[in-house]
Amino acid sequence: MKKRVFLILCSALLFAAHTGFAQEQGTRKKLEHNIQLGMGVHFETGSNAKSFHNVGSGFQLSYGMDVSLSDKWSLMPGVGFRGCFPILPFYYVGGDFDGMAYADLSLSLRYHKPASNVIFGLAPVVSYMVVPDTYYVDADPSDPLNEKETFNRADFGIRPSMTFRHGRHFQWGVEAHIGVLNAMRQYPEYNRTGAISVHHVMVFCGWHF
């Protein structure tokens, strides 16, 4: 008898949980497209990083498909193109500046704050440098570092974000990309070793539909 009551209670709880989840799912789109354009600054940290005040400009174009898990949670796989360019002189030797572009793959876990239009996101990001930065030592054209790539092609980062939605389709927000790997390509034969991690902070706007 006790076993039967226990089974009935468990079945009722499972049914209630399933019904509640289904009702939550019904209040949001199960799939939603997101297109975003962002602009901001990029900077470096590490033993060989340039000084913090020498920031560069950055832009990003990205697409994500938001997959609803419940009324509060969703997962959004995404792809993006991210460019980093100088706005102030960046010097290694002889006037060389950093400029490169990445292709990004991300998977964002997103929390949709109840009774508001605010979304918090956190994503691991795998990046591949499609436009590499290279050394250019104009003071010595014969320098063996000339035309060699400054950074590793592959990188990994963590990307927190906050999104604000207005109306039916418009959204804007802020995000930070925190590079967690040493992105500096090592050249011990030329006494060029050390550590550089690449980061950015951006403001973005876009559409969801």
Q: Domain ranges in the chain?
A: 30-208
The amino acid sitting at 137 is V
Whole-model pTM: value is 0.79
pLDDT for res 108: 98
Query: Taking the chain, what is the end-to-end CA distance rounded to the nearest angstrom?
Result: 53
What is the pairing mode between strands 170-179 and 100-112?
A: unpaired
Mean of the pLDDT values across residues 176-185?
96
Q: Is 41 helix (H, G, I), strand (E, B) or coil?
A: strand
Share of the chain above pLDDT 90, in %: 61
H or E, element range at 11: helix 2-26
CA–CA separation, 153 and 175 (whole Å): 23
Q: Is 155 left (phi over 0), alpha (psi -120 to 50) or beta?
A: beta
What is residue 139's predicted lDDT score, i.e. its pLDDT? 73
Q: pLDDT band at 131, cuts 50/70/90?
A: very high
Contact 77, 65 (CB under 8 A): yes
For 192, the token pair is 């060029």
Whose CA is closest to 119, among 159, 77, 158, 72? 72
Instruction: Count Cβ atoms below 10 Å from residue 123 Cβ, excluding itself.
Output: 23
Domain 30-208 has CATH 3.30.1490.190: no
Residue in 151, 154, 55 with CA at minimum distance from that of residue 104:
154
User: Token pair for residue 149?
Assistant: 């790539």
pLDDT of 81 = 97
Supply the pLDDT for residue 53: 54
pLDDT band at 26 (very low <50, low <70, confident <90, very high): very low
